[in-house]
Amino acid sequence: MQKKSGTITPVKVKNGTRFNAQKQYKGVRYSQRFQTREDAQEWLDDLAYLGATDSNGNPTRKAKAAQLIIDEIDQQRERNTTPTLKECINLFSSQSDLKSAFEYVKQLNRFLGLLDKPVNEIGRLDFELELDRIQEDRGMTDSTRNRYQAAFSSLFKWLARHKDFKQYQLINPTIHTPRGKEGAGCMLFLSKDEQVRLLEACKASKWDGLYLLVYLLLLTGSRRNEIAQLRWENVDLSEGILYLVKTKNGSDHAVKLPKQATALLKEWKISQPLSNWVFQHRRDPRRAMVNFNGYWEKAKSAANLPAELRVHDLRHTTASTMLADGYSLEQIKETLNHKSVMMTNRYAHALGIKETVASRDTDFLSQAGG
């Protein structure tokens, strides 16, 4: 049915008939569906005042009301074409080269109340309310809450640099969001007997690589992903050296291994399918085995170790063991690849390079399963 202000078209639906009202305005077609023809006509009549002005050339009250209808439709269209947070997380997961991207993605996917929201509509209040919910639901400490906030901030910083997102002029919702008070932190250290028990449990794991991975972590004090994402191209089996590149402190790091560790790596390489990764995914050699949490939890439980023990605590363990064995903070700093002794002193970390790893008395680690 043609009307001066637009077009009304009956549409058959499951529960009867609805009426589509359409109007062309500045070259753009606007439409809305109504239950009755009268409602559709009333909508078109309201839009008929678009562009109307008073004697002074100013928009009339009805013209302003009509423009609000158009603006709301435009905004809805923009929302429908703007990527959601979930879509942005998936893009971040597939394209980001951040070492911590895998952990960030896990944390970001817990913002359930925001996943379907257009990313350019997420404001500070939206973020804080959802972060409050996550903290309460998961019983998180303020320190852990800060890690979630950091993950969200990293996503928005990454999006801001992405060429496809510059048009949205995104504002990072974490800016000016207060951070929780960081606790002193609870660092666990395993005794030598506990380290042996853990390695024995790892040997019994359904994933054969868990033993060697944990052994190297305890031996070198390296960070989790520095070993889990190690490539064969960065392993010199003839000289027994691991080359850890792009480490957390920004520098490359070379680790001299004792002969036994080199022998284990040689045996492991022979036993595995061809892959670029030292620790390849069990079902896909093209991927690194970065997520071994299930196997870690079972081994930890089998070794009767604290439930709160993290893989990162193996780094603390290396440091504490070296301290007990008489190594200096400077030597431990070199082992942990820290930039300063202050960091070493604060966290008692240990990441080994040069001769500090090769010269350690680590025979006790070989007792597992012996």
The confidence score (pLDDT) of residue 91 equals 92
Report pTM.
Answer: 0.50
Angle at 104 between CA 296 and CA 220, to 5 degrees: 45
Amino acid symbol at 198:
L
- Asked whether the predicted pLDDT for residue 3 surpasses 50, the reply is no
- pLDDT exceeding 90 applies to what percent of the chain? 42
With cut-offs at 50, 70 and 90, classify the pLDDT of residue 2: very low
- pLDDT exceeding 70 applies to what percent of the chain? 87
Least confident range from 6-15, 46-55, 178-187, 282-291: namely: 178-187
With cut-offs at 50, 70 and 90, classify the pLDDT of residue 357: low
pLDDT in tens, 113-169: 999 998 988 989 999 999 999 999 988 888 889 899 999 999 999 998 988 888 778
Cα distances from 84 to residues 81, 103, 117, 242, in angstroms, run: 9, 20, 5, 41
The DSSP bridge pattern shows strands 6-13 and 2-3 to be antiparallel
Cα distances from 261 to residues 103, 210, 212, 237, 352, in angstroms, run: 28, 14, 9, 10, 13
Angle at 166 between CA 160 and CA 170, to 5 degrees: 55
The confidence score (pLDDT) of residue 214 equals 96
Query: Across residues 164-183, what is the average pLDDT?
Result: 81
Mean pLDDT score of the chain, rounded to an integer?
Answer: 84
Residues 316 and 59: their CA atoms lie apart, in Å, by: 70
Architecture per CATH, domain 192-367, reads as: Orthogonal Bundle (1.10)
Extents of the domains making up the chain: 2-81, 85-168, 192-367
CA quadruple 282, 283, 289, 294: dihedral sign: negative
Give the list of residues 6+ apart from residue 89 with CB closer than 8 angstroms, or none. 105, 108, 109, 115, 155
Between 268 and 255, residue with greater pLDDT: 268
